[in-house]
Amino acid sequence: MAESAAALPGRTDLLMSFDPRTGEQLAQYPVQGGAEVTRAVRTARATQNWWGELDFGERRSQLLEWRGHIARHSGELVEILRDETGKPEADAALEVMLAVENLDWAARNAERALGRRRLRSGWFTRNQYASVGYLPLGVVGVLGAWNNPVFTPMGSIAYALAAGNTVVFKPHEITTGVGLWLAASWSRVVPDHPVLQAVTGDARTATALCGAELDKIAYAGPEAGGREVIAQCARSLTPVVVEHSGKGSMIVHVDADLDEAAEAAVFGAMANSGQNATGIQRCYVADSVFDDFLARAADRAARLRPGADNRATYGPMINADQIDVVRTQVRDAIARGGHAVLGGLDSFRDPYVEPIVLAEVPEESLAITGEGIGPVLVVNRVSDLADAVTRVNAAGNGIAVTVFTRDIVSAEFIAAQLKVGVVTVNSSTAFTGIPALPFGGVGEYGQGHSHGQQGLHEFSRTMSIARRRFRAPVRLSTFDRRPGHLRLAKAAFWLRHGR
């Protein structure tokens, strides 16, 4: 699927793809510009006329056929994913399975979430039949992420397609092969209708896509990139769905099962080399159990081993630029008074980073305020739950917070005070395996939602319809209304609301 230099005579503007484990070049792809992007969007616009006019059942059948094709050929996708990200086979396979689960859920539940349904009329409009339904937006652009290049964009692609939109997908330049495989797999199932297309390139291609005549853009990635996408789309008033990078927090109460909490914290911080936006960046632990929890977490983290083989716990840093970001955060945390319980600045063996556990890190440190994408866990002491909530909300960057406590009532009370999109209780990242559960950021972290019914609504427009069923006995919406009708309406209004 990759185009070689020989296949592009006279063209030197190529994108190189590399294996992060070895630095070996995998493929070359064209950097597509405005003309190619415009052509893809026009094709998507023409195809959307066909796709959007299918009923929910017909679209469900096509999407489930695509789901089956991906599942049957998942070994191919896993290998491309491993080559481009360096993930161990288990991590790559899990990512593909979760993405397929989302596709399956979106296909099966689109009609229930978006289909037309009747609404109750008001007291004065009993002669009206009211209903609401949701229609496709049209053409959606998706800008893919590099850390989970199948699961993350599928949270937009699957839901946009199920809602009746066509999609132009620009995978991240580091993981271009994954994006091309997804688009090609669709064309094998429905060869005559390019409902899903992929365009290849770098930031210039993304800029061209933001400037194309799209009905919505979905972006996942660093905060700086999200701001740039928002600014570019603002010029054409194109709405956006944004999910920023950076991980969430964990709160450990005095009554928590410390073994389970430590296990969840380490997995949330270190899985995928810490490159999961739904993972855990920092733990706020009650003072009385702080030392015990820290020892257990450090002991678990010390058992992990990054590497290139399938027996490794996690793989390399996928984006080489991110290594310096993590190194800077660790250096800043130590310089400000935090101490390394496990690892430290000697943990960097490019392209791998050994597990790092930091404790008592000042809240103004980059390791807390920055977008934490790396195998680093910060453990800080708090006096009580209120202190933990204050610190989590102050740090921001929260798509998810995990609370470990045996008191479920307290957990739900805490959840209501946290300014985040998702709260999990006594587990860390397992919620990503629930397709029906929507998640999204708050404030600077993100705009909009992915997954679940809200994810389907993100890529739909509301169409409300009201029709008169019979002539109203009390006619108010006319200049010919009778005085007696108005008196009757006022009396009814008083009886209903004024007593």
d(CA 201, CA 207): 10
Handedness of CA 475, 479, 483, 486 (dihedral sign): positive
Give me the phi and psi of 243, to 5 degrees please.
-125, 115
CB 188, CB 69: distance < 8 Å: yes
Give phi and psi for 167, each to the nearest 5. -130, 135
Using 70 as the pLDDT threshold, list the residues of the chain that sit under it: 1-12, 397-398, 441-446
Give the integer Cα–Cα distance in Å for 492 and 158: 49
Quick check: pTM over 0.75?
A: yes
Task: Give the tokens for residue 181.
Answer: 């495989």
Give residue-wise pLDDT tens across range 410-464.
888 889 999 888 899 999 888 888 899 888 766 655 577 889 999 999 999 999 9
What's the pLDDT score for residue 122?
A: 81
Query: What pLDDT, on the 0 to 100 scale, is given for residue 6?
Result: 32
Q: How far apart are CA 359 and CA 109, in angstroms?
A: 44
Outline where 54-172 has alpha helix (H). 56-72, 74-85, 89-114, 151-162
What does the alpha-carbon distance between residue 76 and residue 182 come to, in Å, rounded to a whole number? 11
The dihedral region occupied by 448, where left means phi > 0, alpha psi between -120 and 50, and beta the remainder, is: left
Sequence-ordered list of residues with C-beta below 8 angstroms from that of 46, at least 6 positions apart, any chain: none
Q: What tokens were used for 207?
A: 């800029």
418 contacts 398 by C-beta, under 8 angstroms: yes
Give me the sign of the Cα torsion angle 66, 71, 76, 80: positive
CB-based contacts of 132: which residues, under 8 Å, 6+ apart? 116, 117, 119, 462, 463, 464, 465
Residue ranges of the alpha helices (H) in 163-256? 176-189, 203-211, 223-235
Given this model, what pLDDT does residue 25 score? 95
- Dump the DSSP string for 316-375: --SSHHHHHHHHHHHHHHHHTT-EEEE--GGGEETTEE--EEEES--TTSHHHHS---SS
pLDDT of residue 257: 97
pLDDT at 444: 53
